[in-house]
Structures are given as C-alpha cells and as structure tokens.
Amino acid sequence: MQLSYRGVKYNTSDATVEMTESQDVGQYRGAIYHVRRAVNLPARKSNDVLKYRGAIVH
C-alpha cells in the first residue's frame, strides 16, 4: 500500500493478524461486544535509528 505524509510517499506492507474471540464480553454506550485477541502477534522489527534531542534512543 502506498501512503503519503506531507508530500513524502512511502510503501508499507499489510500485516495479517490471526484473531480469536475470547470469553470476555464488554458494553459500551449500551452496545454489547465480544473481545477478540490476537494469536501469535508478529514481533515488530525496525532498523530505524531514533534520535531525541541528539541522543540515540533504543
């Protein structure tokens, strides 16, 4: 998928996450919903070097 932020275009891949419905039930503004949880959530891999005020952040 090609995205754009402030005129800079970049590509991203769609991550497919397998979901399973848990026994938990919630309610929000009168609507009842069933909580779904991710199964085998893929680890995020980033090769970007992050800097904050000149210091490298891991």
- What value does the mean pLDDT take over residues 16-29? 87
Whether 10 maps to a domain, the answer reads yes
Whether 15 maps to a domain, the answer reads yes
Whether 51 maps to a domain, the answer reads no
Domains in the chain: how many in total?
Answer: 1
Under the banding of pLDDT at 50, 70 and 90, the label for residue 28 is very high
Range of the structural domain that residue 17 is part of: 2-42
Does residue 15 surpass a pLDDT of 90?
A: no
Cα 23 from Cα 25, distance rounded (Å): 6
Whether 19 maps to a domain, the answer reads yes
pLDDT at 13: 75
For residue 27, what are the β-bridge partners?
32
Whether 52 maps to a domain, the answer reads no
Return the sign of the alpha-carbon dihedral for residues 32, 26, 38, 21: negative
Mean pLDDT score of the chain: 83
Whether 35 maps to a domain, the answer reads yes
- What value does the mean pLDDT take over residues 42-47? 71
**Is residue 27 within 8 Å of 18, Cβ to Cβ?**
no
Whether 50 maps to a domain, the answer reads no
Query: Which pTM was predicted?
Result: 0.38
